[in-house]
Structure 1
Amino acid sequence: MYANDGFRELDRSECLRLLARAPVGRIVYTRQTLPAVLPIDFALDGEAVVVRSFAASQLVRAIDGAVVAFEADDVDATACSGWRVVVTGLAKTVTEQAEHERLLGAGSRSWVPWPEQVFVRIATELVTGRELVGGRHACGPTRRAQGASV
């Protein structure tokens, strides 16, 4: 990172604090030997990312026992500000009944009422984040201002 590139590296505790308030993230995993990205609601349980899905989902089958990345961000394009956090770690389906019951009450609130709900815990083995600092002067001209079509 260049000292004047407009970004500030976030430490682990800052990253986890920001993740705790993000409503949606994206899970990055391998599907049929290719990278796949899926937006998903989630919750933090301690330092672990927990996602809720249904037992027969392709996502659960693809990520259980695999190393995945999970990313969340908050960007204000008008103010040219925001942050991004990436978690990389092993994803494991929660199989212990008592833990499953606890997460039903405290875990992520699924936007879709899945039958046979399961939880997948993503260990926060590697946590990185960056925050855009400097506001509008750090952004430069926008694509629209330069005449580019959207």
Structure 2
Amino acid sequence: MTETLSAVTELTPEACWDLLRSNQFGRLALTVGGEPEIFPINYVVQDGTLVFRTAQGTKLAALTVNDVVAMEIDGFDQTSGWSVVVKGQAHPAEWGADFEDAATAGVHPWVATRKHVFVRIVPRFVTGRSFVFGPEPGDD
């Protein structure tokens, strides 16, 4: 008997967090001037939140106007793939315990520029899916 795999499977919250912890690179989606924008970021998971670094500029300015963000990570191999989406609120970790905690998270800029601002994403929703790739066109 041949085992049939579901084409799309919802990931458990635990599986989503495992994938988030095992990766460092994601895409941050936010609104800039009324338009959606996507920025590549490197991040770490810290105490149920995501932390990344940035400098003064577009991302930081946009977060002062609208702190609602989404972040997505994904991966794949020859036969299957997965995607995790985090939706929540982002705020600069600017002072006190929040800044001190973020500074110990171990996130370092990938680009050789100074990025003194830590931003913490507090998730409201974490969802994910895994999926099996379909046959090549004409293979059916």
TM-score (norm 2): 0.84
Structure 1 contact 51–119 (Cα < 8 Å) conserved? yes
Partner of 1:122: 121
CA shift for structure 1 position 116: 5.3
Do structure 1's residue 139 and structure 2's residue 123 form an aligned pair?
A: no
CA 1:75–1:63 in 2, change beyond 3 Å: closer, same or farther? farther
Report how many residues are paired.
134
Partner of 1:104: 103
SS in structure 1 of the partner of residue 104 of structure 2: helix
Q: Distance in 1 between matches of 2:21 and 2:93?
A: 20
Partner of 2:19: 18
Partner of 2:67: 66
SS in structure 2 of the partner of residue 106 of structure 1: coil
Partner of 1:57: 57
Q: Distance in 2 between matches of 1:9 and 1:15?
A: 10
Structure 1 contact 22–73 (Cα < 8 Å) conserved? no
SS in structure 2 of the partner of residue 42 of structure 1: strand
Q: Distance in 2 between matches of 1:44 and 1:33?
A: 29
SS in structure 2 of the partner of residue 62 of structure 1: helix
Q: Which piece of structure 1 moves more, 56-65 or 44-53?
A: 56-65
- For 1:6-45, list aligned pairs within 5 A: 6-45=7-46
- For 1:83-102, list aligned pairs within 5 A: 83-102=82-101
Q: Which piece of structure 1 moves more, 101-110 or 12-21?
A: 101-110
CA shift for structure 1 position 113: 4.0
In structure 2, the gaps of 5 or more residues are: none
Q: Distance in 2 between matches of 1:17 and 1:109?
A: 21
CA 1:6–1:93 in 2, change beyond 3 Å: closer, same or farther? same
CA shift for structure 1 position 84: 0.5
Q: Distance in 2 between matches of 1:122 and 1:92?
A: 7
CA shift for structure 1 position 119: 0.8
Moved over 6 A (4+): none
CA 1:105–1:33 in 2, change beyond 3 Å: closer, same or farther? same
TM-score (norm 1): 0.79
